Each structure stands twice: as structure tokens, then as C-alpha cells.
Amino acid sequence: MKTKLLAAAAALVLSGTALADETTSIFSLTSGTFATPFNFTLTAPSTNLFGDTNSSGITWFGVLLNSPTVPFSALDTNPDDGFSFSGLAAGDYSLTFLGMGTGGFGGYYTTAPIPEPATNAMILGGLALLGLARMRRRG
């Protein structure tokens, strides 16, 4: 009974600490030179952003990530090979796709919160509790 209670408590700690990635699909039809922005807000204090595009009839200038609320601006010049930006602070952002051509592009971008050290400590603590419960059960 006690072992099941410890296992349930550890599972609760582990489930309460999970941070979810958020993926957003993108799509745009275009003709000529374009700068298509996708705006979003990050609420986590430290986040990575990554994504990829596929396109038809597009010549890429790059993907620009900047923020009016956080001092951040970065350019990836080849989004067809994927793009990534790391260590982003909480705030408002604009992910702008830059290029030219007639056709369309699609793809996605994903924001992935980086767990805080306290979150990792809680996960390790929960795993330690499960290990202790398992050892007591065998002994």
C-alpha cells in the first residue's frame, strides 16, 4: 500500500512538471517579393524556437525573428534547411519569412520551453522516490 502511494506521488510530481511544445503550421501564397510575418507570444522565461519550410517557386532571403518587447533580432538565411533560435525570453515576437517568387510556401515552427533547473530537480526527485520504492519492494 505504501509503495503504491509513493509511486502515485512520484507520478504526480512528474506529470505536474511537464512543459509542452507548441507547434504552429504556416502557409502563404505569394507573387513577387514578400515579407510574411507570423506573430506570437512566449510566456516561458527561456524557450527555443525551431522549424522548417517547404516551398515551390520561392527564392529565400531568410527567416527573421525579432521582438518589439525583448531586445532580440536574428536572421537565418536558408529556411529550407530548417531554422532555429535559442534562449528566447518571454515576450512578443514576429517570425518573418523573406523571399521572392510566385508560388507558395508552407511548413511549421515550434516553440519548446527549456525546463528550469528546479523542474529537473523535481523530476530526478520523483525518479529517486520510484527507485527507493522499488528497492524496498524487493528487499
DSSP for 74-99 reads: EEES-GGG-EEEEEEPSEEEEEEEEE
Torsion of CA 80, 86, 89, 91, to 10 degrees: 10
Rounded to an integer, the average pLDDT of 26-52 is: 89
| Cell numbers that stand for 102 in this block | 510566385
Task: Find the mean pLDDT for residues 106-135.
Answer: 73
> How many helices and strands (H and E) does the chain possess?
2, 5
Q: Where are the domains of the chain?
A: 1-18+117-139, 20-114
Mean pLDDT of 38-59: 87
Q: Which residue type is seen at 42?
A: L
| Share in percent of the chain as helix, strand, coil (round to 5) | 30, 55, 15
Whether the full predicted model's pTM is greater than 0.75, yes or no, is no
Instruction: Flag whether pLDDT at 130 surpasses 90.
Output: no
Q: Say what the pLDDT of residue 122 is.
A: 66
What's the rounded mean pLDDT across residues 59-85? 91
Is the pLDDT at 2 greater than 60, yes or no? no
Residue in 108, 111, 36, 39 with CA at minimum distance from that of residue 68:
39
Q: Which CATH architecture has domain 20-114?
A: Sandwich (2.60)
